[in-house]
Amino acid sequence: MTVSERVTFVVEMELESDAIFGSGYSIPGGDDINTTIDEQGYPYLKGSTLKGLLAESLHNLLAWTGGSEEDYAALMGEEGWSGIADERRLQLTDMTLISRPVQPEEAFSAHTFTALENGVVKQGSLRSASCVRAKTKFTGSVTCDKRDVGLLQDAFKGVRWLGSYRNRGFGKVRFTAGNPHPAATGKSLPETFCIHYRLETKLPLIVTDLGRSQEFGYETRGYLPGSAVRGMVMSSLASSQPEWFQEHKAALLEDVRFLDAVPVVDEGAALPSIRGFYEDKAETRFETVVKDGSFTPGFKRAKLGSFCRLEDDTVVYWNGKTGGSLRIMRGGKNEDSRPFQTRHLDAGQTLEGYILLKDPKLAPMIGKMFGQTVWLGADRYEGFGECAVSCLEQADSPEWMEKYGYHSGEKLGTDLYLLAVSPLTMLDEWGNPCGLDLKWLANQLGIENVEICFCATATAEFAGYNRTWKCSTPAVVMYDRGSIFHLNCSTAPDTERLLTLQQQGLGIRKAEGFGQILFLRRELMEGLEHKRAAQTPGQLTPQRQNIQNLRRAKYDWIMSKSKELHKDELSSSQLGTIQALCEKAMANGGSLEELNIYFGKNVERTPKMAKRFQAIQTLVDNVCKTPLSQTLNVCCSDDSVIDRLELLCMLFDYSRKGKKKGER
């Protein structure tokens, strides 16, 4: 069997004209066609868009040179793909700016377009677009099989146009492909029973949550399930180490447990947020219903995010950062293309996970599958799922077991708190999901019986995919992450039995990361009285936060003032004239002379006309004379007459577009 060699090469893209990477969104009071931008406001080209451009060029290249369609299918994928790692499938990253300007706005230029009808501008066809400036350079990378490098480099040379309005001269580009270098191998690990790893998301990561998804929108889980990491490792082993994989296949599939990888902040062991906490409306008093089954009347469920760590008597909580993108689902021969939205875990986050092994001899080979970069999740061949491996090391056990659980030799009481660290369910004697099998649990703990005193739970359906049979597995209802049970035992269980059970997990599909539990120390659980939100590294810097707040304040002001303009009964052409005079004043360094002359002439006309124009003149005067910080009620670092005139232009532009056809 031929073993593939994966290599990576850098691709650079230079715009030879202004270009529009359409995002599918418009901005109120701004552009009708907006460019795809990152959270800092800088433009980028999506990896999925890059793949579409490359696919078109590759298809043409193969047709012109007499190449094989099999090469196209091997590189780009084909219908019916089961998700197994393909040795020749290429993987692409987003194209991002090589050099970022100080302000994001410096990367853009504005253009307007109209449509013609019988040689005359069609009414209502005026559109404005935000374009990326010519000469801007972007960079990204492509990972593929070594044998396909030359073919892909030639295909990149054929990509000459991209984006919207190509027929008007926009989007001319030039691609340059660099030399390939082999993918880095994983870190050498010793034999160990526990592997600890950390991943940094370099691209958005999609882990589809089918239970919450709709027909044209796909939700994501806020963490990376162990089954996704397991799939990556098994596929990589099967393709790169086929003989070794076949020899150890049974042990890999049954005796290795891949736990969920969750977003983490700062240092400290992360848990799923514990359910069952309530608080007052001021969020100053905090208590759990699981302790004795009651809570203070009038309290509401506490907001605790999705993940937490416990610091003395305080729950420190946070959420994984998620986003979304609008994409196009290409139809078949008899189907139309249609837009759909995909939710994802954002880039720039740290995910931490563990792999537990019964046979420590498997650890070194598993570690080799974690190179400098791994690709995970859905659509990982469509510009998603690139993660950098920032940590790969042996560990005695998961940190949260050591920090929040019991230790060998500790004396236990009869009350226990069992936390579902991952989704779990057990099966009854007929093979049906039953939640917790208390009789089996008591037997494993070596006691006569155990009962649930109180609990706080949530349930969800979890399905899977069988790579061997190429079909979905039946969905199973399980207790979701963070579900907690207050158990009462007939006698105090043996600590070693409890730790063994905790290490092995409960229920079904444990190799995929399900069934992981933690027995929380009683004094720790019952001592929690406060909560605090964690400071996540993905939050905006104060400077970027001020820019975002200013932008939002402008949009809010425009929306509210636009309603007043409609009441003044000014026509679209009159608003357009005022906007043009404001733009002229901006070009003249902020001189309002021509604008005041225009208002003076119209105020001297009929009383009805004077009333209309006096209102708009008052608005313009107030905005031009009042600091933007007072107008918008937000901090403004840049504040000049030109900045105030720009705000007015945005208002007039939005108001004119907001008038219905047939209105003045």
Strand partners, 511: none
pLDDT at 652: 83
pLDDT of residue 27: 47
Q: Which helix (H) or strand (E) holds 112?
A: strand 108-113
Residue by residue, DSSP assigns 452-487 as EEEEE--EEEEEEEETTTTEEEEEEEEEPTT-EEEE
Per the confidence metrics, is the pTM higher than 0.85?
Answer: no
Run means of pLDDT, 10 residues per run, the chain, 664 residues: 75 91 51 70 88 92 88 78 65 91 83 63 63 92 91 93 82 91 79 95 88 76 92 88 92 92 87 94 88 90 93 92 75 60 89 94 93 88 91 93 93 95 92 91 94 94 72 85 96 94 92 93 93 70 64 81 69 82 86 87 78 84 88 81 87 70 44
Q: Which pLDDT value is given to residue 648?
A: 87
CA–chain centroid gap for 586, Å, is 39
What distance in Å separates the CA atoms of residue 422 and residue 317, rounded to the nearest whole number? Answer: 17
What number of helices (H) and strands (E) belong to the chain? Answer: 16, 34
Give the helix/strand (H/E) hosting 579: helix 572-587
Asked whether 67 and 61 are in contact (CB, 8 A), the reply is yes
Cα–Cα distance between 492 and 489 in angstroms, integer?
A: 6
Question: What is the spatial distance between Cα 581 and Cα 599, in angstroms, rounded to a whole number?
Answer: 11
Helix, strand, coil percent values for the chain (each to nearest 5): 30, 30, 40
Tell me what pLDDT residue 120 has: 58
Read off the tokens for 376: 């995970």
Q: What's the order of all strands across the beta sheet hosting 307-311?
A: 271-272, 307-311, 314-318, 530-533
Looking up tokens 């070009």 gives 587
Tokens of 318: 């946070």
Query: Which residues in 495-651 belong to E strands, given as ranges?
Result: 517-520, 530-533
- CA atoms of 601 and 219, how far apart (whole Å): 57
CA distance 36 to 42: 8
DSSP H or E segment with residue 611: helix 607-625
Distance from C-alpha of 560 to C-alpha of 70, rounded to nearest angstrom? 58
How confident is the model at residue 405, as a pLDDT? 94
Nearest to 623 by CA among 561, 571, 572, 548: 561
User: Residue 86 has what pLDDT?
Assistant: 63
